[in-house]
A and B are shown apart, each in its own frame.
Chain A
Amino acid sequence: MITFTVNGTRRTIAAAPDTPLLYVLRGELELNGAKFGCGLGQCGACTVLVDGEPVFSCITPVMLLDERTVRTIEGLGSADAPGPVQAAFIAEQAAQCGYCIAGMVMRAQALLERDGDPDDDAILAALEPSLCRCGTHVRIVRAVKRAARTMAGKPMAGKVEAVR
């Protein structure tokens, strides 16, 4: 049996140890934020954090995660109370179809936790493994900068912080 912490709660997993984390999250734990894009570790739609670092959950068998800590986009906030990164993505309207966004947000979260004031190069490097087919990259970069400001206690002037 494999046990790990997901968004602060300890969960024991019934799935076979070679099951990809993504299937366990979506199927067994009903956390549907992370998406299945390619299943090959190429697109980043399935990105979640393991011990604070982004991983492709589609190629990470749960057997590697015993006693580890997993965070998914559900752990950052809800539709009613979005976390700072989620709120910034909403404020910048960074999603088109939204399929890549959970992965982008998780990568941004990991980046901002280790670098509170990333420049463009750092943001592009951190988000590079995630592909956005809709081409919202410019807004995504803006959202990450907005989130950095909010998290540093210096929210951007002149714009609403979140649309709702």
Chain B
Amino acid sequence: MKRVLLLTLVAAGCGALAALAYAWHGEIAPISPPPAATFDRAQIERGAALALIGDCRTCHTAPGGTTFAGGLAMPTPFGTIYSTNITPDPETGIGRWPLAAFVRAMREGVDREGRHLYPAFPYDHFSLTTDADLAALYAFLMTRTPVVATAPANQLPFPINIRLVLAGWKLLFFHPEPFKDDPSRDAAWNRGRYLVEGLAHCGACHTPRNLMGAEIRSRAFAGGEAEGWTAYPLDAQSPARVPWTKAALAQYLREGWQTDHGVALGPMGPVTENLAEAPAQDIEAMADYLASLGAPASETATPKAPAPDASGQRPQSAGWQAAAMALPTDASAGRRVFAAACAACHQAGRPLPLGGVDLALSTAVAAETPRNLLNLILRGVPAADGVAAPIMPPFAAMDDTALTALLDYLRRDIAARPAWLDLAAAITAARRAAAPQTTANPAKGAP
């Protein structure tokens, strides 16, 4: 009896030690920050382009803060995580990180000190990145202006606040493998796949996650969500009314909108703002790969554009000058709202960006949930900084009755899809998320 107990204890002890050995990562010795002149100019430029594709500045910049200085609050189902300072400040940033530490963070999700990083930092994608690309990213980041900034402490409940717990998560869900080209495809497609699945981490939003917050690999690109928005499926289940072609994807990724689909909104907005500055060749490659994920063009029926109104003519311009849409006397409430509030732009017969997207083509109207459509009606499409892009004023003044009638009309009569279930709950949630925030700036009042 005693022997059994002893053996069990020894076995348990060995197991715990093995687990600790797996979970434990040593510190990588700090270096004194390398002078900018030690990095190669061309390498820095390559790193700059890769950082845009990786969307680094979107998460590593707080609203109104300095680029890459971190501090952005990222709400997750488990609590709030704050992005860190990735400028080369020696004390609060990554100034004392040697290249090996940067590579380990990107590949293994472990920081220089040896602490596990939360997978809100998508190392499950970044791990695919090649040595040369990581070195270029490192060169780029280490030559930015150092900023002194410490992120607020994460707000996570026990036991998730213990970083060692992440070792268990990694054991279950994180099995990095180096990227391998598919020899049956050409170089551009492989380059696209390398970027989409790696640095660009598209799956972080567009792949569904399990209860432990890990991407479900077997359902890659089957659609997910981010920050109260639906990230549409990119695979054959894409709700797009017109199949995405490589050219359409390239335009969308670079410009943030596409005539046959709509406008990049919510968390996708900053992604396209970054890609706008990335090398065209890389965007083309990403578009090439992404187009190959969707249904082949022939399998998807192209919907008819809405018929011109009774006068036989479509209004020619958006806004106050537009001719009123002729309505039959028995028109539904939703159609009346559409005619009064939406038609002037959306049936003006002018494509994006000068008119509204043809709602028969809109992915938001065709999608599985009304979430994105509601977000966009309530918030509008704000003017983009410094580029010509579509805008839409918000229509938050619509009450629930009008919204319900409108969405019902758009869904059934314009998109010819079954009505959405649970519209009332979706409207309440979208309104709450869109409500203006009172100033909750902790630094307020400080000098």
Contact = CB atoms under 8 A, between A and B. Distances in A.
B436 to A, nearest CB: 7
A157 to B, nearest CB: 19
A17 B340 contact: yes
Contacts of B441: 119, 121-122
B269 to A, nearest CB: 16
Interface string A106-148: 0000000011011101100010000000000000000000000
A59 B341 contact: yes
Interface in A33-51: 38-42, 50
Given A39-B320, A42-B393, A121 B337 contact: no
Contact-residue size bin, chain B (C-beta under 8 Å from the other chain): 20 to 34
B311 to A, nearest CB: 16
List 3 A-B pairs, minimum CB-CB distance, nearest first. A41-B393, A39-B320, A18-B340
A64 interface: yes
A20 B393 CA distance: 14
Given A42-B393, A114-B438, A121-B441, A64 B399 contact: yes
Interface residues of A, number: 28
B328 interface: no
A63 B337 CA distance: 8
Contact of B320 (A58, A114, A121): A58
Given A18-B336, A40-B320, A61 B341 contact: yes
A65 B444 CA distance: 37
A42 B397 CA distance: 16
A122 B380 CA distance: 19
Interface string B392-412: 110111110010000000000
Interface of B: 64, 318-321, 324, 336-337, 339-341, 380, 383, 391-393, 395-399, 402, 436, 438-439, 441, 444
Binding site secondary structure of chain B? loop
B64 A121 contact: yes
B397 A114 contact: no
Contacts of A118: 439
A118 B444 CA distance: 9
Given A17-B336, A114-B436, A119-B444, A64 B341 contact: yes
A76 B444 CA distance: 29
A41 B395 CA distance: 10
Nearest to A55: B397
Nearest to B345: A40
Given A42-B393, A117-B439, A121-B64, 9 more contacts: A18-B340, A53-B396, A59-B393, A61-B337, A61-B341, A63-B337, A64-B337, A119-B441, A121-B441
A89 interface: no
A56 interface: yes
24 contacts: A20-B320, A39-B320, A39-B321, A40-B393, A41-B392, A41-B393, A53-B396, A56-B393, A59-B395, A61-B340, A63-B340, A64-B337, A64-B340, A68-B397, A68-B399, A114-B436, A114-B438, A115-B439, A119-B441, A121-B64, A121-B439, A121-B441, A122-B439, A122-B441
Nearest to A38: B319
